[in-house]
Chain A
Amino acid sequence: MRTLLTVFAKEVVDNFRDRRTLASALIMGPLFGPVLFAFVINLSIEQSLGDMDRTMTLPVIGQQHAPNLMNYLRSHNIDVVDGPADRDAAVRAVTTGEQDVVVVVPDGFGEQLADTVPAKVELISDQANTQAERDARRVRTALHSYSQELATMRLVARGVSPLVLRPIHVDEIDVSTPSGRSAMLLGMMSYFFIFALLMGGMYLAIDTTAGERERGSLEPLLSLPVTRDQLMLGKIAATCVFMAVSLLLSLCSFFVALKFMPLEQLGMTPNFGPAVVVAAFFVLAPFILLGASLMTLVASFTKSYKEAQTWLSIVLVAPTLPILIVSILTLRPQLEFMFVPSLSQHLLLVDMIKNEPVNLLHVAISVSSTLAIGAALTWICARLYRREGLLG
């Protein structure tokens, strides 16, 4: 036990003095998530919110044929401007991307309207261009509601109730809570936590194995009168501590960052108060042992610091895989999923953020299965250090 503590204390001090380890554990991991997250959130707010309030400009050819329609569009925040010379020029302009949407009001518009034959209006857009399609959709909606308005007026003029045009009234009831809507986007938070957690221990895992071998300090260490299991456990324990600190910082930085993100505008109110931060730490904590032993194990097999870095960057990405699969298939949390590390943590975290009741059986399975796998990997690491091949 004393050996374990000695190794542990030395590794903590040693790595605390290493700027690279410190930067990745205390800055890189915890800040990467919130910064990327803030970026994505702001982007999506800009995309979805700006739409209705923003004044868009719409080139229209043949404005003089439909003055009322132009006024209607202007009243809907659509700024009508002169379009290209003719229809062909307009098609070309949209094809090249010079214009997103162009409306053409043909010559006979007024007469057709007066004769109550459907009056033709052309909407030129590129439906493959999603960015332009949003503007096109807005114009289409405006044109459609103008058409509806005219229809209503015609019916009223003929003494018919406009309600005959609406035999069915669809009323949509959305049962998602603001917290629930957050889950989609906030689901990726769980990976940031796992990422930060792994980043926190990555350089330690390398330094205590491949690094120690490369420096030539492993051989003298192994020739000391101590059991190798204890050396290994001390190293893994030190890695765990850095990972725990990194996780805690990451949770705190998210807690602070979310306060500054205008999530209400997206109709989201994530449930991420201090209580959830603490609960999330304990749900994610079992993953620390698993991550530390997995990284140490992988790094033990490599011949050099560089090689270890390469392999460990794969380990950094691996936990996303189950999360990704479940997100794509939109599977609901099931009992079986709780046996899968990283996935179980992700699902539990999403439930907490959604403010849904967390199934305690699920928590118990997640914690115990992740801990069991971590313990097994730790045991394998300790066994591995008894092999002489370790010295390369």
Chain B
Amino acid sequence: MIKVDGIHKSFGKVRALRGVSFDAPNGKITGLLGPNGAGKSTTLRVLYTVLRPDRGSASIDNADVVTDSLAARQRIGALPHGAGLYPHLTARENIAYYARLCGLENHAIDERVENLVALLEIGDFADRRTKGFSQGQRTKVALARSLVHSPQNVILDEPSNGLDVMATRSLRELILKLKDAGCCVLFSSHVMQEVAALCDDIVIIANGKVAIDDSADGICERTGCDDLEDAFVRAIEMVGPA
């Protein structure tokens, strides 16, 4: 369960976030939707404790991301945008490294890595060094890596970027599996169809503010549009310029 309460964040003169608030409950998929530069990544980076908010607070399962960041990190598995692997290590070694860092016992590591290799269907290239992996292969390994400590909350920053149809499909299946397991899944995207097909809740962000936070049907209803894309454009217009 993720709670975001009025967070602000500026980089120099650029005000990236201007009071973002929303909740992402367990057992649901929450989508963070918005145009480029709206503040999606900044919001997620605050959540996985890489950035500190200037104002406001956020918590993961009631662990504050600033004051109790270690506990918060224990509760999340994060896939940052463009997450990189270690090119000289094999896919399996990349995953095992994170498992060890997350404090899994030695005997449990192999088993957990095996589970993830099966879950993400990366068996074919699991023992190859990741140098020269395709974008899809890399994303799968990075995703497996971020799930290594079986986190209750999963934060994915534009996970479907650069993936082909097959890879996008298996990613979607995985997200649904996580939901069924009772996880709280929060992911950002600018692909409308993907968000519409997957999410229980959609948070539309524009210019560092939440434009609207509702289910896909609710958003259409509130903006008076039949189509989610039109609703998206309308919602962004409602926020106004920064």
Contacts and interface: CB of A to CB of B under 8 A. Distances in A.
Interface stretch (A1-9, A66-74, A81-89): A1-9
Interface stretch (A164-172, A215-223, A306-314, A360-368): A215-223
Nearest to A224: B101
B168 interface: no
A225 B78 contact: no
A217 B83 contact: yes
A224 B73 contact: yes
Contact of A225 (B88, B102, B129): B102
A81 to B, nearest CB: 66
B150 interface: no
A219 B97 CA distance: 15
A3 B73 CA distance: 15
Contacts of A220: 78-80, 83-84, 98, 142, 145-146
A223 B78 contact: yes
Interface in A224-267: 224-227
Contacts of A222: 49-50
Contact of A224 (B84, B86, B88, B98): B98
Contacts of B102: 224-226
A10 interface: yes
Nearest to B99: A6
Nearest to B49: A223
Interface residues of A, number: 25
A3 B100 CA distance: 8
A391 interface: yes
Contact of B84 (A3, A17, A217, A225): A217
Contacts of B86: 10, 14, 215, 217
A14 B76 contact: no
A226 B146 CA distance: 13
A388 interface: yes
Interface string A176-191: 0000000000000000
Contact of B52 (A17, A212, A221, A388): A388
B80 A223 contact: yes
A14 B89 contact: yes
Interface in A194-229: 212, 215-217, 219-227
B51 interface: yes
Contact of A6 (B84, B88, B101): B101
A3 to B, nearest CB: 6
Interface string B58-91: 0000000000001101101011101111111100
Contacts of A13: 88-89, 93
Given A14-B86, A220-B145, A388-B50, A2 B103 contact: yes
B228 to A, nearest CB: 30
Contacts of A215: 84-87
Interface string A331-358: 0000000000000000000000000000
B232 interface: no
Interface string B81-122: 011111111000100011011110000000000000000000
Contacts of A107: none
Interface of B: 45, 48-52, 70-71, 73-74, 76, 78-80, 82-89, 93, 97-98, 100-103, 129, 142, 145-146, 149
Q: Top 10 closest A-B pairs, CB basis? A: A216-B84, A215-B84, A225-B74, A217-B84, A223-B48, A17-B88, A225-B73, A223-B78, A219-B80, A6-B100
